[in-house]
Structure 1
Amino acid sequence: MQINVSLLNAHDFCPRVIYLKEVMEIAPDASIRKTKGLIGHAARKELSLRQSKLLGRVSCASEIENCLFCELDNVLSDFPYIYKNLLEDNDIDYEKLLAEIKSEMLPEIKIINEKLMLVVDELGIDKALEYVTPWKVEYFMKSENLKLSGRIDKVMKQNNNLIPVEIKTSSPPHSVWQGDRIQTCAYCLLLEDKFNGKISYGFVEYTKIHEQRPVMTTEQLRRTVINTRDNVIEILEGKVPEICPHGSGKKCEACDFKEVCYEI
């Protein structure tokens, strides 16, 4: 059996979600909150993927902010064509939803602008463009050896070293969410397996603060990836996780499956 790396992150949130969604095939009820979250994530990810294209258009740091605002408009304009599967509920006013998301992202544009300006001021346009341009985007990988597959948001190449970058739009903790850490390490293992090399670290990019936070591929974290993979496989083969195995009421309250979880 081969599992998607995203399930490792889902397992860290709650193993029972995997059972309900993947084994029982229960789909959570649609809601405006959930749809807005999915669309907001996709829009922020799309803007991140376009940063190299954006820098290619400017001649100096002072032009970056206007280009960011224009590119945000382009992202939202292109959205229905790229992410058509997210816009299938006819009962939702998507124009209103996209307008709300744009309003929420405007302060984030200011943060992105400040940090990109620092990079350009320090390196110059050409070096900055090289620095932010990925080697690959949405790079699909699979490994029979690892029993894992997944699509890496960005793979950077620096001094012939490959570095996976996982884009996240949630508000980050002081460091990195454990599920994001596991997911990023798994991508490092996939790259190692394919290219027969060692990858010491990857990054989680938290778009709301425009920060890339490092994830070191320690022996402990590598072991956690393998153990989590094995636990997910057991669930997919029929093992039923206990209710609220993580003991976090906050997770239960935020879960899309909270209405059905205790009934099964």
Structure 2
Amino acid sequence: MITVTDLCDYVWCPHLVYLKKVRRIKVPPTPAMVRGTVLHKVREDREARERIVLTNTLEESTSFSEIQSIIYSNGYQCAKNAVLKFRPRLEKAGIDPIELMSFLKQELKLESIVRAARIKRAMAATDVRTAIDLVLPDQRAEEMIEDGSLGLRGRIDKIDERRSGPVPVDYKTGAYHDEPTPGQQVQLAAYALLLERQRGHRVPFGIIEYTAIDRQVPVLIGDEQKEYVLALLDEVKRIVEQQEEPKEVEIKKEKCDACHYREHCTYDCGF
């Protein structure tokens, strides 16, 4: 079974698919990967609990500062649990858990202010329950979707369940981009394709959520992008099934320098 991650790897470098899927080389996670895993876990757990916590505690008279405190306390507890759970991996990667927790507290404080303002503004226009629905729509986290006929599966960070249909959301802990990278575009298009085939509803867009700045960027997904995903899927299958090393690889020094598989790569980068 091919994964959406495999498609993104192919977009980055076809040789990466060969190293991971054919030669089955595994490398230890980089510090950035471990850090990203923890940040991802905090976001996932916080959002899974936040709607429930707010629904059970908010009243018409709840003040902005009280809402902000509720949101922050929930996020802080999720961060504390995640850092404790991943502490051995963090320390092995050379990351100080205390420093990471300090960073998370600052981020959660800022995010709680923004999120509380959104909810309080919505509460001024409607009732509490509707305000929560508007700001925090029903969602499903870490949803694994598999299509046997395609031979493709992917784990979606979050699915927003909207009246118009499901919207795939992908978390990013890295730097913000005005436009999605080719890999991000493929990732969301693949999720949209899987959701369409599973639900029978058209999925015309997805969302990239930059967790560091609590910003969502909508990404349009048309038929052309979904057809491109199918073409990529065929190419990845060919490499895996024929165990064929890609012969034509676009060489970019910045990509090779950043690749954590570089020392295992048999391709002559020329530098």
TM-score normalised by length of structure 2: 0.81
Q: Which residue of structure 1 aligns with residue 149 of structure 2? A: 145
Indicate the residue corresponding to 2:245 in structure 1. 240
Distance 1:5 1:34, change over 3 A: closer
Structure 1 CA distance, aligned partners of 2:142 and 2:50?
A: 15
Q: Report the CA distance between 1:241 and its aligned residue.
A: 2.5
Quick one: structure 1 residues 180 and 263, their matched pair in 2 at CA, closer, same or farther if it must change by over 3 Å? closer
Within the candidate set 176, 182, 187, 1:178 is matched to 182
Q: Structure 2: how far apart are the matches of 1:242 and 1:41?
A: 35
Which position in structure 2 is the counterpart of 1:4?
Answer: 3
Instruction: Tell me, yes or no, if the aligned pair for 1:45 and 1:168 is still in contact at 8 Å.
Output: no
The 3 A distance-change label for structure 1 pair 180 and 260 is same
Q: Cα 1:103–1:247, aligned 2, differ >3 Å: closer, same or farther?
A: farther
Match of 2:65 among 62, 65, 74: 62
Q: Which amino acid aligns with 2:252?
A: S
What secondary structure, in the 3-state scheme, does the structure 2 residue paired with 1:151 have? strand
SS of the residue corresponding to residue 197 of structure 2 reads helix
* Equivalence for 1:19: 18
Report the equivalent of 1:228: 232
The whole-number CA distance in structure 2 between the counterparts of 1:145 and 1:113 is 43
CA contact (8 A) 1:36 1:97 kept: no
Shift of 1:22: 2.2
Any idea what the Cα deviations from partners look like across 1:196-242, whole Å, max 9, x if unmatched? Answer: 22111111111111112112121221122112211221222212124
Residues 10/263 of structure 1: CA separation in 2 closer, same or farther (3 Å cut): closer
Q: TM-score, normalised by structure 1?
A: 0.82
Contact 1:146 1:190 in 2 (8 A): no
Aligned residues: 258
Query: What are the ranges of 5 or more consecutive residues in structure 2 without an aligned counterpart?
Result: none
Tell me by how many angstroms 1:51 deviates.
Answer: 3.6
- Unaligned runs of 5+ residues in structure 1 are none
Does residue 127 (structure 1) correspond to residue 126 (structure 2)? The answer is no
Distance apart, 1:69 and its partner CA: 3.6
> For structure 1, which segment, 165-174 or 43-52, has the greater mean C-alpha deviation from structure 2 after superposition?
43-52
Give the drift of 1:257: 1.0
CA root-mean-square deviation: 2.9
1-side partners of 2:160 and 2:235: how far apart? 30
Greater radius of gyration (CA): 2
Distance 1:54 1:185, change over 3 A: farther
Equivalent positions of 1:199-210 (< 5 A) are 199-210=203-214
Deviations 1:90-148 (A, max 9, x none): 97388x63322222334432442343134213322433421314332222211133321
The secondary structure found in structure 1 opposite 2:70 is helix
Q: Separation in 2 of the partners of 1:135 and 1:41?
A: 16
- Percent identity (aligned): 25
Moved over 6 A (4+): none
Alpha-carbon distance between aligned partners in 1 of 2:253 and 2:264, rounded to the nearest angstrom:
16
1:194 Cα deviation (Å)?
1.3
| Aligned with 1:76 (options 68, 79, 88) | 79
Counterparts in 2 of 1:130 and 1:103: CA distance versus 1, 3 Å: same
SS of equivalent residue, structure 2 residue 149 = coil
